[in-house]
Amino acid sequence: MSGTKSPNPETLVLHAGYRADSTTGAVAVPIYQTTSYQFRDADHARRLFALEELGNVYTRIMNPTTGVLEDRMAALEGGAAALAVASGQAASALSLQNLASAGDNVVSSTDLYGGTWNLFANTLRAQGIEVRFVDPSDPENFRRATDARTRAYYAETLPNPKLQVFPISEVAAIGREAGIPLIMDNTAAPLLCRPFDHGAAIIVYSLTKYIGGHGTSIGGMIIDSGRFDWEAHSDRQPNLTQPDPSYHGAVWTDAVRPLGPIAYIMRARTVLLRDLGPALSPMNAFMIAQGLETLPLRMERHCANANKVAAWLAARGDVTRVIHPSQQKGEARRRADAYLKQGYGGLIGFELAGGVDAGRRFIDALKMFYHVANIGDARSLAIHPASTTHSQLSPEEQLATGVTDGYVRLSIGLEHIDDILADLEQALAASGG
To ligand PLP, the closest distance from the beta carbon of 121 in angstroms equals 15
Nearest residue to ligand PLP on Cβ basis = 88
To ligand PLP, the closest distance from the beta carbon of 220 in angstroms equals 5
To ligand PLP, the closest distance from the beta carbon of 96 in angstroms equals 13
Nearest Cα to Cα of residue 240 among 217, 224, 219, 216: 224
Q: What is the CA radius of gyration of the chain?
A: 22
Longest distance between any two alpha carbons in the chain, whole Å: 74
Quick check: bond before 30 cis, omega within 30? no
Residues that bind ligand PLP (CB under 6 A): 87-89, 92, 113, 115-116, 156, 185, 187-188, 206, 208, 218, 220, 375
To ligand PLP, the closest distance from the beta carbon of 311 in angstroms equals 24
Task: Give the residue with the Cβ less far from ligand PLP, 289 or 352.
Answer: 289
To ligand PLP, the closest distance from the beta carbon of 154 in angstroms equals 11
To ligand PLP, the closest distance from the beta carbon of 381 in angstroms equals 11
| Distance in angstroms (rounded) separating the CA atoms of residues 179 and 151 | 8
Task: Give the residue with the Cβ less far from ligand PLP, 116 or 253.
Answer: 116
Answer for the pair 230, 217: CB distance below 8 angstroms, yes or no. Answer: no
To ligand PLP, the closest distance from the beta carbon of 374 in angstroms equals 7
To ligand PLP, the closest distance from the beta carbon of 114 in angstroms equals 8
Helices 64-77, 282-292: crossing angle, 10 deg rounding = 40
Side-by-side strand order, sheet with 130-134: 81-85, 220-224, 202-206, 182-185, 150-156, 105-109, 130-134
Task: Give the residue with the Cβ less far from ligand PLP, 67 or 88.
Answer: 88
Task: Give the residue with the Cβ less far from ligand PLP, 113 or 120.
Answer: 113
To ligand PLP, the closest distance from the beta carbon of 388 in angstroms equals 11
Task: Give the residue with the Cβ less far from ligand PLP, 99 or 163.
Answer: 163
Q: Tell me the sheet residues that pair with 81.
A: 224
Task: Give the residue with the Cβ less far from ligand PLP, 190 or 261.
Answer: 190
Task: Give the residue with the Cβ less far from ligand PLP, 34 or 392.
Answer: 392
Task: Give the residue with the Cβ less far from ligand PLP, 139 or 215.
Answer: 215
Task: Give the residue with the Cβ less far from ligand PLP, 185 or 244.
Answer: 185
Task: Give the residue with the Cβ less far from ligand PLP, 96 or 428.
Answer: 96
Nearest Cα to Cα of residue 290 among 385, 392, 213, 231: 213
Task: Give the residue with the Cβ less far from ligand PLP, 220 or 349.
Answer: 220
To ligand PLP, the closest distance from the beta carbon of 89 in angstroms equals 4
| Distance in angstroms (rounded) separating the CA atoms of residues 152 and 175 | 8
